[in-house]
Structure 1
């Protein structure tokens, strides 16, 4: 059993719970790294650490104090290299008739929503009927579209054109260095101009933006280790100054980078 759901097969979970909604909190969360799906919509709050969600050929980063909304029946895989991952997972049998609930959403949790989620933890793993809980969870669900400010910068697209996979792999490996566009074009076996055009068409972003996203994701992993200063992190992901790193980080995350307290 995981999050109250019975794992029927490696990729499919069976829901035998009558409750409309419930919450499942765990410290030091451990996920299987295979793709799975379930018939409840899912709201996951990352209280500590970070998670990567692999959904529909995109990789969504969900850092600390962010949430991800996943519609029901949406196949997803979760990975993380964080030292500790503390999660709250809310599972809803039905949702409101609004386009928001039909799509994957990732966004930073504003203070009001954070307090609501933390208050809801008092019902952790409770499957008993409770009127206050039912009303409170419905209020959380109804409020989500108002709390969401799009964080599309927290997703990395995965191209379907197989010629671009070596390009992405090269950037993921050598993110510390500036783009060698001629070398990347050679790996893709196409001209520089074709590479730039096809990559943008496939992913919706430029090669330079892809590099920036990769660097910021790597910086989040390094910050999580608590082993480096911000200046060291900036250098390790390819920035020549802390100010340049801070500016790039803010452009993606909408907050300035800061070290975690031990």
Structure 2
């Protein structure tokens, strides 16, 4: 990702009429971070490899490979990734006042074939693309115009943002031990809290149960492993705490809407 965040954001908004194009295709050896910020243009970010998380609206939006996130203009957000390889293709798009109704909702979506083909044309472009550029501008403008049609069915890849400090410690422990069969009673004993109180804390702070929370973060980690294409389905199941492949596959399907094998076969079209 960009080393000097402030300078990069200044470049993005320097020309208010241009569509700013940037592709981050570098391998990273440690966590990538784009700290909380906003920009005057809307942001289309397609994730071609690895996975990213976008924090905004008191939620964490999880964006796996072959999906994109739309971030409205002015939305305060942070971008994070633990994947060793993160491939992102980004367009920063100016949104006029009378267009805001069409481009005001943040969400994560599967990439359509048409969007991928349009993005394919931008893969070597960098910086401002202005209307005077008769070769490049029609491509990126087409992406903007078609975006509302591409974005009709958002995927519910979100995790509620944890606010309680004790619960932050607990959820970090869960994240570090996804391969373990952890029960609510185990957590209560480890963190010296009444089991019923811990159950209520999960519901109050995240609006979902402990079991659902733990299942979601396990499945999101499974997507991360799948996108790396280094592990078999059985290895991934074990890494996220499932001894039964059918149980893992069924749970993955319920949360994500696809079988793990279908996800693993997904091609990185823009490589």
User: Scaled by the length of structure 2, what TM-score is found?
Assistant: 0.79
> Cα offset for 1:35?
2.7
Equivalent residues, number: 257
- What does residue 212 of structure 1 align with? 215
- 1:17-45 CA distance string (max 9 Å, x none): 24332322232266544333322211101
Change beyond 3 A, Cα 1:252–1:114: farther
Tell me how far apart the structure 2 counterparts of residues 44 and 36 of structure 1 sit (CA, whole Å).
Answer: 15
Q: Larger RCO: Structure 1 or Structure 2 (Cα < 8 Å, ≥ 6 residues apart)?
A: 2
Q: 250, 256, 259: which is aligned to 2:259? A: 256
Q: How does 1:90-239 map to 2 (within 5 A)?
A: 90-95=91-96, 96-98=99-101, 101-121=103-123, 123-128=125-130, 129-131=132-134, 133-148=136-151, 149-152=153-156, 154-186=157-189, 191-239=194-242
- 1:72-125 CA distance string (max 9 Å, x none): 232322222323222211101215232x63232111112222222223446543
Pairwise CA RMSD: 3.2
Tell me how far apart the structure 1 counterparts of residues 49 and 5 of structure 2 sit (CA, whole Å).
Answer: 26
> Cα offset for 1:188?
6.4
> Cα offset for 1:144?
2.5
Q: Which shifted more, 137-146 or 165-174? A: 137-146
User: Scaled by the length of structure 1, what TM-score is found?
Assistant: 0.82
- What does residue 21 of structure 1 align with? 19
- What does residue 74 of structure 1 align with? 75
Change beyond 3 A, Cα 1:24–1:238: same
Whether the aligned pair in 2 keeps the contact of 1:46 and 1:85 (CA below 8 Å) is yes
Change beyond 3 A, Cα 1:240–1:163: same
Change beyond 3 A, Cα 1:45–1:187: same
Q: What's the secondary structure of 1:213's corresponding residue?
A: helix
Whether the aligned pair in 2 keeps the contact of 1:83 and 1:224 (CA below 8 Å) is no
> Cα offset for 1:165?
1.8
> Cα offset for 1:250?
2.0
For the pair 1:42 / 2:46, whether they are aligned, the reply is no
> Cα offset for 1:203?
1.5
Change beyond 3 A, Cα 1:64–1:244: same
Tell me how far apart the structure 2 counterparts of residues 6 and 80 of structure 1 sit (CA, whole Å).
Answer: 16
Change beyond 3 A, Cα 1:133–1:8: closer
Tell me how far apart the structure 2 counterparts of residues 16 and 47 of structure 1 sit (CA, whole Å).
Answer: 27
> Cα offset for 1:237?
0.9
Q: What stretches of structure 2 of length at least 5 have no aligned partner?
A: none
Change beyond 3 A, Cα 1:202–1:132: farther
Whether the aligned pair in 1 keeps the contact of 2:50 and 2:224 (CA below 8 Å) is no
> Cα offset for 1:236?
1.6
Tell me how far apart the structure 2 counterparts of residues 6 and 82 of structure 1 sit (CA, whole Å).
Answer: 20
